[in-house]
Structure 1
Amino acid sequence: MEREQFLAFIASYIESDPEAAAHVANYVQAGLRKALDEANQRAADMEIVASIMMYKKRWKGQDELVMDKINKWKGKANLNWDGLLKV
C-alpha cells in the first residue's frame, strides 16, 4: 500500500469511527519509540566500531565484534560498509 493510500484509509476510518483516533495515536507513538530505540542502538554500535577502528592497536582481536556490528546494521546504516564486509 502506498503512503497516500494508507493515510487516506486512516482518515476515512477515523471519520467513520472517531474513537479509534486515540488508538491510532498510541500505535503511532509506539512506532516512533521503536524507531528511535533502533536508531539509538545503531548509533551506539557504530560508536563501538569507530572506537575500535581508531584504537586498533589497543583492541586487537576485536575484528569479529566489528564485523558483527556492521553486519547487524547492513542496509540500515547511513554509510555503506560493504567494503569492510568483503575483507
Structure 2
Amino acid sequence: MMTLAAGLLCGALGLAMLAGLWRIIAGPSVADRILGFDMITVSSAGLIGVLSMLWRTALFLELILVLTMLGFMSTVALVNYLQRPDKELMIPPKKERP
C-alpha cells in the first residue's frame, strides 16, 4: 500500500516538475521563470523526501535542507535584483551653462 502511495506521489511530483519546466520555457516574463524554478525546487525536495521515506533512510534529509535553502535564497536574490532601479537608464539631468 505504501509503495502504491509513494508511486502516485512520485508521479504527481514529476508532473509538477514538468509544469515548472514548462513555466520556465514558455513564461513570458522573468517572474514566471522565477516561479517555475521555485516550483521545480520544491517538487524535487518533495520527491527526495518521498524516496527517502520509501527507502527508509534518513541520509537525504540534509540534502532536502540544502536544496530548499538554496532555492529560497536564489529566489530572494533574483527578486531583489529585479526590484532595484536600473542605473543605466537613470541619466542625470544636464546642467545648463550660464
The TM-score bracket by the shorter chain reads 0.3 to 0.5
Q: What is the TM-score of this pair, normalised by structure 1?
A: 0.44
Q: What is the TM-score of this pair, normalised by structure 2?
A: 0.40
More RCO (CA 8 Å, sep 6+)? 2
